[in-house]
Amino acid sequence: MKLEPELHAEFMAEAQASHRPASQVLRELMREFVERQRAAVKMDEIFSQAAARLADHPQLGRAGRIPGTRDVIPHKSYCLEKGARFDLFP
Tens-place pLDDT, residues 54-86: 888 877 888 888 788 888 888 888 887 777 555
Q: What is the average pLDDT across 21-35? A: 97
- CA distance to 32, 37, 49, 53, 87, per residue, from 43 (Å): 16, 10, 10, 15, 26
Q: What rounded mean pLDDT belongs to the chain?
A: 87
User: Taking 90 as the threshold, does the pLDDT of residue 19 lie above it?
Assistant: yes
**Above 90 in pLDDT, residue 29?**
yes
